[in-house]
A and B are shown apart, each in its own frame.
Chain A
Amino acid sequence: MTTIRAKKAFPWHIVFFLGPGLLIYLTVSVYPLLDTLRLSLYNEEMNGDLTFTGLSNFSKLLFDVVWSDPFWNATWNNLKFFVVHMLVQNPIGLLLAVLLSSPKLRMRNSYRTLIFLPTMLSVVIVGFVWQLLLSPLWGITENLMWDIGLGNYFDAWLGKESSALFTLSLISVWQFVGLPMMLIYAALLGIPDELIDASVVDGSSAWQTFYHIKLPLIMPTIGMVSILTFVANFNAFELIYTVKGALAGPNFATDIMGTLFYRTFFGFQLQQGSLTMGAAVATLMFLVILVGVALYLFLFQRRVQRFAL
């Protein structure tokens, strides 16, 4: 068969649809990211010229005490920040979601809407609000604690090296607990009623139904919530900056990757900002996030299959 095939017209419409959005995405998101990775391999001279120095920025960050102490400190703090979210925020979110999904619950929508409210607020606002509430000057929290007999335990938590990071983590948990709650709640709603009925007929108690049926079925969502938490935590900045400033005091006790990145890039007070060292920090953050996402995709998502419900 030798029919003459009409040459297909060039698909201009595809260009039309993809063009503008992709142009912005590529120039403002993809290119800067790749360029940041590139810049991390250079060194900025006094006169502003860039010279290629290979991995020396990274070796400084990881091994040169001047750089590596703050870097490891921030990484370690960031990890603690994340662990608090995983151990406090997500379990509370799960608990609230389970309670919200109990059948015939009254005022379900009000609870849901109100508990989610802090998530909507700006981190900056939340930071200031809690700074005020925890301030020994104002004394709201202190008085409340005296009222319930725990007054002796009150302290200026945000100001102490030992407790500042933990307190900030809890503030962040307070703000964002609505997200895991909402996502897990949606997943719980997606479990067909008949499945729950079946397990009740099979003799499960409420707890057994939760543990053997619901929990495995919402595992994919819990996994997703975890990875979202991870990315958000290793990208956090605003809360620390608002409450403790760029120096993430006291004595860098609350310094995390985001604040370290900011200081390294822009400089702060005595520290000189550096384009290329900033790029190197960003690159390491990128790698951390990449490793986290990859671990999630390959270890977690592969094992926990999505079940066609």
Chain B
Amino acid sequence: MNFALPMKHNRGKALVTHAVLMTYTLIALFPIFVVIINSFKTRKAIFNDPLALPTPETFSLVGFEEVLLRSEFGLFFSNSLIVSVVSIFFVLLFGAMIAWALTEYSFKGNMLIGILVAMGIMIPIRLGTVSILDLMSSLHLVNTLWALILVYIAQGLPLAVYILSEFIKQVPKELKEAARCDGVGEIKIFFTIIVPLIRPAMATVAVFTMIPIWNDLWFPLILAPSDGNQTITLGVQQFIGQYVTDWNSVLASLTLAIVPVLILYIIFSRQLIRGLTSGAVK
């Protein structure tokens, strides 16, 4: 009697939806998966059967041994960590301060500064590389992590100011006014009332700031390429460039670079995705 049973129709649609999404998920994961499983295999197994999981016979950590022996992976890693953490800290601190000043106070030049900062969202800081290198060498910061940190702070500020402003605007007026009536100073209001309230937004900003810093190759390549100061991205790039033919080492170093990000991503994906989908970035 009924030809278009909505139930059945929906089932079919759901099936197609899942099929497409699953296919794409496979496409997204397959390359990463292949690299990781092969990094745990002997050279022979890598070539004989690249899609097989490591078995007791084919299991081998030789790649990892080589990498840890021949490169300073731990150092690269801690360089990246230092650079990221310090940059993020200042991006959040200065970003929130600027956002607060621009949204809370009206003063001459407010608009101009706002536009100037907003332009930084669209215009990549890379375009100023020629003069940045110049500047860093006159400050004697070339080949130090500080050069990277300064650049990354400047790079992260615009988006941070933008996102944090949106949140600061939502803080109820009454809170600030109550504090002002009690004679609390502006700086104290900022640190004791505003900062705690925008903490969730700061977490989002932190994740957004972290990704491009951790993954950047350009500035490490130009500002701090020398031994001892490489970030992990540059370190991996140089290492693999050197040992292209040592498949075990290449796969192991890729795995070593991927896994920490993977773990962090699994921990923070909720935060990140909430940030992306909350409309904070528009």
Contacts and interface: CB of A to CB of B under 8 A. Distances in A.
Interface in A244-262: 258, 261
Given A123-B217, A125-B258, A116 B124 contact: no
Contact of A14 (B101, B132, B279, B282): B101
B203 interface: no
B277 A99 contact: no
B113 interface: yes
Given A99-B20, A114-B28, A237 B218 contact: yes
Contacts of A143: 50
Interface residues of A, number: 89
A223 B169 CA distance: 25
A282 B222 CA distance: 15
Contact of B254 (A128, A186, A282, A285): A128
Contact of A99 (B21, B94, B105, B276): B21
A109 B270 CA distance: 9
Given A120-B211, A124-B215, A113 B269 contact: yes
Contacts of B69: none
A75 B129 CA distance: 19
B186 interface: yes
A247 B241 CA distance: 14
B97 A17 contact: yes
Contact of B17 (A105, A116, A177, A275): A105
B129 A118 contact: no
Nearest to B234: A124
Contacts of A286: 123, 127
Q: Among B20, B28, B222, which residue has the most Cβ atoms of chain A within 10 A?
A: B28
A37 B32 CA distance: 41
Given A16-B187, A111-B21, A117-B28, A128 B240 contact: yes
A124 B94 contact: no
Nearest to B122: A293
Interface string B222-260: 100000000001001100100000010011001001100
Interface string A143-157: 100000000000000
Interface string A104-146: 1111011111111110111111001110110000111001000
B124 to A, nearest CB: 4
B193 interface: no
27 contacts: A14-B107, A18-B97, A24-B94, A24-B153, A24-B157, A25-B120, A31-B131, A105-B14, A111-B21, A115-B28, A117-B29, A117-B265, A121-B258, A123-B215, A125-B254, A125-B257, A128-B240, A133-B34, A138-B50, A140-B34, A174-B31, A178-B28, A182-B273, A185-B277, A231-B122, A285-B127, A289-B123
Interface of B: 13-14, 17-18, 20-22, 24-25, 27-29, 31-32, 34-35, 46-47, 50-51, 90, 93-95, 97-98, 100-101, 105, 107, 113, 116-117, 120, 122-132, 134-135, 150-151, 153-155, 157-158, 161, 185-187, 190, 211, 214-215, 217-218, 222, 233, 236-237, 240, 247, 250-251, 254, 257-258, 261-262, 265, 269, 273, 276-279, 281-282
Interface of A: 11, 13-14, 16-18, 20-22, 24-25, 27-33, 35-36, 39, 92, 95-96, 99-100, 102, 104-107, 109-118, 120-125, 128-130, 132-133, 138-140, 143, 174, 177-178, 182-183, 185-186, 189-190, 206, 221, 224, 227, 231, 235, 237-238, 241-242, 258, 261, 265-266, 275, 278-279, 282-283, 285-286, 289-290, 293
Given A28-B135, A186-B279, 7 more contacts: A20-B94, A24-B154, A31-B135, A114-B29, A138-B247, A140-B34, A282-B128
